[in-house]
Amino acid sequence: MALISVDRERGLLNVEFQGLDKLWTLKSRLEIPLAHVRGATHDPGMAREPKGIRVGGTHFPGVITAGRFRRHGERLFWDVKNPDKAVVVELADAETYDRLVVEVDDPRATVALIERSIARG
């Protein structure tokens, strides 16, 4: 589970990994400039996609996908146990990752927050 928040003053999207997810993903947080966030989508079906090659992190199929993955030349960052709550955040080319797939508590609210924040930027 990740906690997604927006720092308007610094123009950043903060993704904080909760509890043991810090261990599984090998990260405690990601900070992404809002200008590099292209959109967010609640997408439970994303978790059924092939994950590609694990670059760093944890992958127990059907249990947890966490950390850095590479597929078709794209770099994805995952933190998902429950696919029903997966949100896909698409990033601009300048970012380290092409796409984040993270589980959040309230996907609808998270998507709305991100859409609102990037519309203003």
Minimum CB distance to other proteins smaller for 59 or for 70: 70
Q: What does the longest C-alpha to C-alpha distance in the chain come to?
A: 39
Q: Which range touches other proteins (CB under 8 A), out of 10-18, 22-30, 41-49, 53-61? A: 41-49
Structure tokens at 76: 């994805």
Minimum CB distance to other proteins smaller for 66 or for 86: 86
HSE-CB at 105 with a 13 A cutoff on CA atoms is 7
Q: Is 59 in the site for other proteins (CB under 8 A)?
A: no
Q: Which long-range contacts (C-beta less than 8 Å, at least 24 apart) are formed by 93-96?
A: 94/36, 95/32, 95/36
Q: Which residues contact 41 (CB under 8 A, 6 or more apart)?
A: 87, 88, 90, 111
Residue selected from 14, 18, 34, 43 as contacting other proteins according to rule CB under 8 A: 43
Residue selected from 44, 51, 59, 113 as contacting other proteins according to rule CB under 8 A: 44
Minimum CB distance to other proteins smaller for 22 or for 71: 71
Which residues are at the interface with other proteins (CB under 8 A)? 38-41, 43-46, 49, 71-75, 88, 90, 93, 98-99, 112, 115, 119
